[in-house]
Amino acid sequence: MRTFSYVRAPDVETALRTIATEPNAKFLGGGTNLVDLMRENIERPDVVVDISRLPLTGIDELPGGGVRIGALVRNSSLAAHPLVRTRYPVVSQAVLGGASAQLRNMATVGGNLLQRTRCLYFYDEASACNKREPGSGCSALGGFTRNHGVLGVSDHCIAAHPSDLCVALAALDAEVEVESTRGTRRIPLTEFHHLPGSTPHVETALAPDELVTSVELPAPVTTRSRYRKVRDRASYAFALVSVAAALEVRDDTVTAARLALGGVAPKPWRATEAERVLLGAPATEESFRSAAEAELASATSQDGNDFKIELARRTIVATLRDLLTDRSAA
Amino acid sequence: MAEVRLRVNGADHPLDIQPQVSLLDALREHLGLTGTKKGCDQGACGACTVLADGERINSCLALAVQYEGAEITTIEGIDHPLQAAFVRHDGFQCGYCTSGQICSAVGMLAEHKEGMPSAVTGQGSGSHLSGAEIRERMSGNLCRCGAYNGIVEAIQEVAG
Ligand SMILES: Cc1cc2nc3c(=O)[nH]c(=O)nc-3n(C[C@H](O)[C@H](O)[C@H](O)COP(=O)(O)OP(=O)(O)OC[C@H]3O[C@@H](n4cnc5c(N)ncnc54)[C@H](O)[C@@H]3O)c2cc1C
Ligand code: SF4
Ligand code: FES
Ligand code: FES
């Protein structure tokens, strides 16, 4: 690993000042993605600003029924928190479905939002990759694409976003609060990550000098929510397809639906087309299937990930069915 | 070089190391504590699992400087009924994953006691550690020899 200088930030102000004045600095949260990428020579910061001791570790109830989650809350603490487990089960399940217990003990909420793709060609310095080296091409096209996206991809990059947590946050209308020496602003989670277009190296709306300070969840439309993840082994693997869903049904009619997909797109994919079909529709398997069809209508695939289109449809239907049959239990 | 004070198995160790040195390399190469193993060096196998303030982490993805002030426990500092249980139940073959498995299991039992849910825990707190619970909670530790059945039995016996 290339060397760098290490600065431990005791407070937010120091963190922001350091990142604003050092031209090639990076924040260090839990380190589970940054340390890996530095070792692979993909991330090459001159200065690493350790923010892991910043006092942004609270999970607090907001007036109105929402919750504010500090950016340095560790993934394991988030999944175990009673407010999260009871009001936003989909968030707790998404986190517990990701990585391993060791990694969840280290990883932070802010770092989870900013983790980078697991595209194998992105990791392999010998391969062409527009994300790693703009303009060099994309080795995934015509390559091994089992882990790649089918929605929102471009001719320049078809990488999938790897986060489970972000899929749940996208479904729940989360907002990200960010801060720099220039001030504070809020970004809806669905606008936080960018689609690749012709600039796959530009991944988020975050400026290089901005710190994620918290994520806010509005009051849930329903506490009946769930995360379903399909992968190559039962645990400790990234999603091939995942679905975060919340469903409210009255008199056999869908009165509220929130749906997002993981593993299939370069960003956590809010399934607005499917939501449109579901709202006001009878809560039946047929409606769920129509919603899934509508969402995947614009999908494009490679030989290696064609299976994901039907797998995504079926996983959407199965997740909604689970929520429907669980009604009495919830 | 940075001066880093690591606290490992109850003793303080002042070290002169570069900031890019991982906690795993600091333990193995600088402190001679070779019980902690390097499998993948990328967070994907669990061989490097140690406890930091009682919580299991992958020391290969931890920068040593970041863990200054934390109480690090490695396999050399563990004296736990799990160790004899692993022997009784053939919880290993080559032994390469074993220190990580044991550190991980110690951390896992503490997490479970504190009510940490897992992906297979339902709405309840999962008070009983079933085989399915143990497999899910221990999924961050791979065993290339496939000693999983013995590992699960050993943990189950100690968990009671
Ligand atoms: C083997 C393995 C398996 C995994 N499996 C899964 C999985 O199944 N599902 C899943 O979702 N994830 C998985 N992960 C990824 C893991 O969830 C992420 O690595 C983790 O969430 C990153 O958080 P961190 O705090 O460690 O980030 P770091 O590594 O510290 O940082 C990552 C990036 O975020 C930036 N950053 C961190 N905090 C902030 C902040 N507050 N403001 C601005 N920038 C910030 C850093 O500068 C860096 O660029 C896996 C990881 C590994 C190694
Ligand atoms: S899919 Fe994206 S990340 Fe992967 S090689 Fe192509 S450009 Fe790089
Ligand atoms: S060596 Fe750390 S997880 Fe494999
Ligand atoms: S005993 Fe050989 S790897 Fe587990």
Contact B66 A50 (CB under 8 A): yes
Q: Considering only CA atoms, which of A274, A277, A287, A295 is closest in space to residue A324? A: A287
Which position has the token pair 């350091």?
A18
pLDDT score of B125: 52
Can you spell out the DSSP letters for chain B?
-EEEEEEETTEEEEEEE-TT-BHHHIIIIIS--TTS--SSSSSSS-TTEEEETTEEEEGGGSBGGGGTTSEEE-GGG---HHHHHHHHTT--SS-TTHHHHHHHHHHHHHHHHTT---TT--SS---S--HHHHHHHTTT---TT--HHHHHHHHHHHH-
Distance CA B135, CA A37 (A): 29
Which position has the token pair 């929520």?
A323
Q: Residue range B118-147: average pLDDT?
A: 88
- Residue-wise pLDDT for A223-258, tens only, equals 999 999 999 999 999 999 999 999 999 999 999 999
* Residue A326 pLDDT level (bands cut at 50, 70, 90): confident
The answer on pLDDT for B23 being more than 60 is yes
Spell out the domain ranges in chain B: 2-77, 81-159
Q: Check if the beta carbon of residue A292 is closer than 8 Å to that of residue A305.
A: no
Tell me if B40 CB under 6 Å of ligand 3: yes
Could you please state the CATH topology (level 3) that the domain comprising A225-329 is classified under: Enolase-like; domain 1 (3.30.390)
User: What is the reported pTM?
Assistant: 0.98
B56, B102, B125, best to mutate vs chain A, most A CBs in 10 Å: B56
- Residue-wise pLDDT for A184-208, tens only, equals 999 999 999 999 999 999 999 999 9
- In chain A, % of residues over pLDDT 90: 98
Beta strands in A98-174 (DSSP E): none
pLDDT score of A328: 45
pLDDT score of A85: 97
Which position has the token pair 């290089």?
A208
pLDDT score of B64: 98
Cα torsion A219, A265, B44, A176 to 10°: value is -30
- Residue-wise pLDDT for B68-77, tens only, equals 999 999 999 9
Average pLDDT for chain B: 96
pLDDT score of B2: 77
Q: Residue range B128-139: average pLDDT?
A: 96
Tell me if A127 CB under 6 Å of ligand 1: no
Q: CATH classification of B2-77 is 3.10.20.740, yes or no?
A: no
Question: Cα of B83 to ligand 4 centre, how many Å?
Answer: 15
Q: Residue range A21-43: average pLDDT?
A: 97
pLDDT score of A120: 97
- Tokens representing A61 are 């109830």
pLDDT score of A249: 97
Tell me if B143 CB under 6 Å of ligand 4: yes
- Residue-wise pLDDT for A118-154, tens only, equals 999 999 999 999 999 999 999 999 999 999 999 999 9
The answer on pLDDT for B124 being more than 70 is no
Widest CA span in chain A: 62
pLDDT score of A14: 98
pLDDT score of A180: 98
Q: Check if the beta carbon of residue B157 is closer than 8 Å to that of residue B150.
A: no
Question: Cα of B159 to ligand 1 centre, how many Å?
Answer: 31
Distance CA B137, CA B106 (A): 12
pLDDT score of B126: 57
Q: Which ligand is nearest to the CA of A120?
A: 2
| Residue A47 host element (H or E) | strand A47-50
- Tokens representing A281 are 């529709």
Q: Check if the beta carbon of residue A260 is closer than 8 Å to that of residue A270.
A: yes
Q: Considering only CA atoms, which of A244, A260, A326, A320 is closest in space to residue A287? A: A320
pLDDT score of A306: 98
pLDDT score of B121: 85
The answer on pLDDT for B153 being more than 60 is yes
* Residue B16 pLDDT level (bands cut at 50, 70, 90): very high
pLDDT score of A329: 44
Tell me if B147 CB under 6 Å of ligand 4: yes
Distance CA A119, CA A104 (A): 21
What residue in B sits closest to A229 (Cα-Cα)? B119
The architecture in CATH of the region A5-53 reads 2-Layer Sandwich (3.30)
pLDDT score of B65: 98
Alpha carbon A319 to chain centroid distance? 18
Nearest CA to ligand 3 atom 3: B43
Nearest CA to ligand 1 atom 9: A98
Distance CA A20, CA B69 (A): 28
Spell out the domain ranges in chain A: 5-53, 225-329
Q: CATH classification of B81-159 is 2.60.130.10, yes or no?
A: no
pLDDT score of B1: 73
- Residue A279 CB partners (closer than 8 Å, separation 6+): A254, A255, A256, A257
Contact B66 A99 (CB under 8 A): no
Q: A5-53 with A225-329: one CATH topology?
A: no
Cα separations in angstroms, A175 against A165, A190, A214, A222:
13, 8, 8, 18
Average pLDDT for chain A: 97
pLDDT score of B127: 74
pLDDT score of B122: 66
